[in-house]
Structure 1
Amino acid sequence: MGKAFSVGRNRGQSRGQLDWRKRMSDTVAYALLVYTGLQIFVTMQAIEGDSASALPMLALVVLVGAIIPMFRRFERRWEHIGDAAAADPGRRAAFRKDQVSIWLLAIGLPFLLTGLFKLIAALF
């Protein structure tokens, strides 16, 4: 019985510890959700009223699939650090830099790409 309580206590203690790897993984996961949602919303707004072609849907799948390796690169950079480095508060600035980059891409890229595609469509 004492062992069960100590396991629960240890698990609770590890929950509050700093781990940049987990935080980056969470950031990437949430950013992918936001990117995908925005990409769908912005693309659907842009093609509303246009032809019922499957091409915009295919482009949407390609755009969502293309961002995953880019975000994965950010996550991989943090995945390979050791346990001591993962709990080092001195890595906060590097983490914030990557975190801001991820969120700028996740929020800005759908609008940028849709604007670019609309511009190209207007030119041709």
Structure 2
Amino acid sequence: MNKALDHTVEAQASQSQGTSQSQGTSQSKDWRKGMSDTVAYSLLAYTGLHIFVTVGAIQQTGAKMLALAALVVLVFGVIPLWRRFEHRWSALSDAQAHDPAYAAAYRRDQIKVWLLAIGLPVGITALLKGMIALAA
């Protein structure tokens, strides 16, 4: 919290002295905060997709166990996976967190998180529906 406040104070001081960062010298991105935001937003998207896809599958098959199985996968599988992505980036030092050399790795992990967030709800539901169809 103190770092955030110090950063705000420094930014206000530099603006009041007439040094503008809008002249092409912008600060580099904080990879830690960026990945934390990516994880948070992708979990929201994953949960929303999961609810709608699973509810649709339940209405089609009438299998209430599908919802329970999907919830188990969410709690015991997906949340720890997302936490691992976030932890890899939160462990960076302050210097590493703003190092442009991490841009490619950050983008790669960001794409992986979003592909999983979109693909897992559909894949899990399809798998469970297939299992129900085989059992019937």
Which residue of 2 is the match for residue 93 of structure 1?
A: 104
TM-score by length of 1: 0.83
Instruction: State whether residues 35 and 110 of structure 1, in contact with CA within 8 Å, keep that contact through their aligned partners in structure 2.
Output: yes
Query: For residues 111 and 9 of structure 1, do their structure 2 counterparts lie closer, same or farther at Cα, with a shift above 3 Å needed?
Result: same
Q: Structure 2: which 5+ residue stretches go unaligned?
A: 1-5, 15-26
Which residue of 1 is the match for residue 70 of structure 2?
A: 60
Give the superposed CA RMSD.
2.1
Q: Which consecutive aligned stretches of 4+ in structure 1 deviate over 3 angstroms post-superposition?
A: 6-9, 49-53
Query: For residues 60 and 11 of structure 1, do their structure 2 counterparts lie closer, same or farther at Cα, with a shift above 3 Å needed?
Result: farther
In the TM superposition, what is the alpha-carbon distance from 1:61 to its structure 2 partner? 2.2
Structure 2 counterpart SS, 1:48: helix
Which residue of 1 is the match for residue 56 of structure 2?
A: 45
User: Comparing both chains, which one has the higher relative contact order based on Cα–Cα distances under 8 Å and sequence gaps of 6 or more?
Assistant: 1
The size of the alignment, in residue pairs, is 116
CA distance in 1, matches of 2:29, 2:129: 44
- Aligned to 1:33, which of 41, 44, 59? 44
Query: For residues 57 and 114 of structure 1, do their structure 2 counterparts lie closer, same or farther at Cα, with a shift above 3 Å needed?
Result: closer
Which residue of 2 is the match for residue 119 of structure 1?
A: 130
**Could you tell me which amino acid in structure 1 is paired with residue 103 of structure 2?**
R
Identical aligned residues as a percent: 50
Q: Structure 1: which 5+ residue stretches go unaligned?
A: 1-5
TM-score by length of 2: 0.76
CA distance in 2, matches of 1:7, 1:18: 14
Query: For residues 90 and 52 of structure 1, do their structure 2 counterparts lie closer, same or farther at Cα, with a shift above 3 Å needed?
Result: closer
